[in-house]
């Protein structure tokens, strides 16, 4: 099955380089404009995070498709860092410790990193199973950068940070359901 993973379009918080996790904001004007330039492909189904920014992205990219929402592929809860940017956090001891851990520590008052990754993988497997059972050949998954990174880390056995995408970017891969791997990856 061919899967195209889209990182949602840009929001005001993304433009301000904020940690936008559980904050449920919609796309910015710039975000909408950038999405309109993306080449669309035909897909059998579209799956999305429940967050406004993802649903809006899915509706722009695939206006004639029903958007199937998967709660488990929502963005991470950044806890005390939520909707703040580096300038606001750079002197925060908890933030400095988190940076020094290369993001491996959980977010204070937020989601544990390993639990987040586990949730993302579970959500992806639910989507893959649904698509497989319905005999879909091509699907789109509209979600968040950290979710995509978690999925690719698990199903390619490579580093989490290898899979960073900018807002509106996408990556396509074949998912081999029997081997549980992503392969033939195209950026």
Q: What is the pTM of this model?
A: 0.96
Which CATH number do you get for residue 80? 3.40.50.1240
pLDDT of amino acid 37: 86
Residue 151 has pLDDT above 90, yes or no: yes
Q: In the predicted model, what is the mean pLDDT of residues 21-34?
A: 97
Helices (DSSP H) in 20-103: which residue ranges? 29-35, 52-61, 86-89, 93-100
Host domain of residue 56: 2-186
End-to-end CA, the chain: 17
3-state secondary structure of 75: coil
Cα(140)–Cα(87) distance, integer angstroms: 35
* Burial class, 47, CB count within 10 angstroms (exposed 0-12 / middle 13-18 / buried 19+): buried
How many structural domains comprise the chain? 1
Closest-CA residue to 124 (of 92, 148, 108) = 148
Q: In the predicted model, what is the mean pLDDT of residues 163-186?
A: 95
Q: In the predicted model, what is the mean pLDDT of residues 138-161?
A: 96
pLDDT of amino acid 25: 97
* Residues 73/147, Cβ–Cβ less than 8 Å: yes
pLDDT of amino acid 177: 86
pLDDT of amino acid 40: 78
Burial letters for 79-116: b for 16+ Cβ neighbours within 10 Å, e otherwise?
bebbebeeeebeeeeebeebeeeeeeebbeebbebeeb
pLDDT of amino acid 103: 83
């Amino acid at each position: 099955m061919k899967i195209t993973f889209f990182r949602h379009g840009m929001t005001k918080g993304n433009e301000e380089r904020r940690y936008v996790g559980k904050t449920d904001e919609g796309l910015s004007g710039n975000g909408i404009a950038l999405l309109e330039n993306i080449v669309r492909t035909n897909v059998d189904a579209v799956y999305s995070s429940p967050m406004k920014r993802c649903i809006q992205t899915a509706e722009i990219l695939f206006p004639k498709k029903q958007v199937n929402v998967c709660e488990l592929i929502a963005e991470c809860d950044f806890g005390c860092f939520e909707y703040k940017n580096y300038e606001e956090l750079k002197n925060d001891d908890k933030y400095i410790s988190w940076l020094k851990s290369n993001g491996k520590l959980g977010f204070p008052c937020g989601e544990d990193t390993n639990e987040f990754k586990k949730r993302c993988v579970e959500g992806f497997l639910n989507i893959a199973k649904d698509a497989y059972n319905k005999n879909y050949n091509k699907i789109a998954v509209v979600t968040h950068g950290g979710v995509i990174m978690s999925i690719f880390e698990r199903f390619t056995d490579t580093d989490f940070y290898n899979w960073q995408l900018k807002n509106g970017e996408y990556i396509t891969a074949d998912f081999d359901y029997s081997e549980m791997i992503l392969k033939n990856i195209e950026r």
